[in-house]
Amino acid sequence: MDKLESKKINHYAVILCGGTGPRLWPLSRASHPKQFLNLFSPQSLLQETVIRAQKIVPSKNIFVVTNEKYLPQISLQLKKFVPSQNIIPEPQKKNTSMAILLALAHIESVDPSPFVVTTFPADHYIQKIPRFIKDIKKSSQIAINNHQIVLLGIKPTFPNPAYGYILSKKTQANFYHITKFVEKPTPPVAKKLISQNAYWNSGIYTFTSETILSEFAKHQKTYYQLYQKLLDDPTKETLVNKIYQLSPSLAIDTAISEKSNKMAVIPVSFDWSDIGQWNTIYQKVTKDKNKNSTLSTNTQFVSIDSSNCLINGQKNKLIGLVDVSNMAIIDTPDALLICNLSTDASYKMRDLIGEIVKDKKTADYFLKTHDQHSK
């Protein structure tokens, strides 16, 4: 009998909380990105992610990896959710491979036996939670019993060029073997991929410590060697700083997924979105009879012959709409966005942020929150 199957193996959740969310400007800023926003409930996207993880593993088994500049915000938001020692700061942004390895080193320091991990981006929207829990548990069993790195695959609803796509084939076991990854294809290529029954890559991985580390040893020796050094003391700041200075900067998709022959995908049955643009938020919120919607109870608007708009306003400030449609109107104390809700326009948000940050006169409108900027 396999040694992982011969006894109960501990399950851990690793939440990756390092994104800056430029496509949701001006609500999301580099110093206060989208994972800290309350968009759909009284909880932030990060808090919602932790609450979902608590339905799968105990709080002591939840680890959060983040840039050290976000520590004050995360500590405040998660003080009732996870132990403070489970919030792991990174000295630099070095992408998801290094973040995952740093978390594994922390887990191994308290649990040296083989374990299974599920990684979650901190800023996703997920509904139908019982189905989500079932799919995570299924992926953990495949990871343990079949020595696979398991991704959750989302059935595409339209040819979205902002996502990664997964092609796969059925195996004798109860999962699909991944045959190809296609990252952010053009709309025509995305349409073709959908016709071939491709899935969107959710970014939610499950793997055992043995499997993922063996794949790093095989495909990314530099990372594996740095991981071995991390094991000396992953909590020691000087050691972590040195290792991050030496580390490459690769996403787990690039470092491992696209090279490994141990990649599996299971199609999921829950509702999912990465909340990466204003039109995806518009699709999720409640709308009035004219299909207009607001992001907060503070928002007041009066509409004449206007429809299909997403509106965010300030307290004691009225917004009037006349003969407009399919627009995002996002007002904050120091910035206003007026953007078409079409998919094409949403993808241009990164271009807008690029223009904002390259000019010293406007850079702080993204780099700082409105409170910091007004000082």
Residue 374 has pLDDT above 70, yes or no: no
Chain-centroid distance of CA 212 in Å reads 20
Those residues whose C-beta lies under 8 Å from the C-beta of residue 245, and which sit 6 or more positions away, are: 92
pTM above 0.85, yes or no: yes
CA distances to 68, 100, 186 from 16, in Å: 13, 8, 27
Sign (positive/negative) of CA torsion 75, 79, 81, 86?
positive
Q: What's the CA gap between 219 and 255, in Å, rounded?
A: 7
* Paired strand residues for 125: 273
Sign (positive/negative) of CA torsion 85, 87, 90, 91?
negative
In this predicted structure, what is the pLDDT of residue 7? Answer: 52
Which of the four pLDDT bands, split at 50, 70 and 90, describes residue 3? very low
Task: Please tell me the number of Cα atoms within 13 Å of 95 on its side-chain side.
Answer: 12
In this predicted structure, what is the pLDDT of residue 218? Answer: 97
Residue 150 has pLDDT above 90, yes or no: yes
Q: What's the CA gap between 229 and 240, in Å, rounded?
A: 9
Residue 2 has pLDDT above 70, yes or no: no
3-state secondary structure (DSSP) of residue 292: coil
Q: What is the DSSP string of 114-130?
A: -EEEEEEETT-EEE-HH
Those residues whose C-beta lies under 8 Å from the C-beta of residue 192, and which sit 6 or more positions away, are: none
**Residue with tokens 């972590």, as numbered in its chain:** 240
Which of the four pLDDT bands, split at 50, 70 and 90, describes residue 1? very low
Q: What's the CA gap between 100 and 192, in Å, rounded?
A: 32
- For residues 66 and 88, the answer to whether their CB atoms sit within 8 Å is yes
Characterize the bridge pairing of strands 125-127 and 263-267.
unpaired
Per-residue pLDDT tens digits for 10-53: 999 999 998 888 999 999 999 999 999 999 888 999 999 999 99
In this predicted structure, what is the pLDDT of residue 368? Answer: 83
Q: What's the CA gap between 118 and 136, in Å, rounded?
A: 8
More confident residue, 276 or 286: 286
> If you average pLDDT over every residue of the chain, what do you get?
92
Question: What residue spans of the chain are helical by DSSP H?
Answer: 45-54, 71-78, 95-110, 129-146, 187-195, 209-219, 221-230, 237-246, 252, 278-284, 343-347, 349-357, 364-367, 370-373
Per-residue pLDDT tens digits for 97-137: 999 999 999 999 999 999 999 999 999 999 999 999 999 99
Looking only at Cα atoms, what is the longest distance across the chain? Answer: 70
Angle, alpha carbons 293-299-302 (nearest 5°): 70
In this predicted structure, what is the pLDDT of residue 372? Answer: 62
More confident residue, 7 or 300: 300
Domains observed in the chain: 10-148+202-263 (3.90.550.10), 278-373 (no CATH)
Supply the angle between the helices 209-219 and 95-110 in degrees, to the nearest 10. Answer: 130
Neighbours of 41 (CB within 10 A): 10
CA distances to 107, 144, 237 from 117, in Å: 10, 10, 24
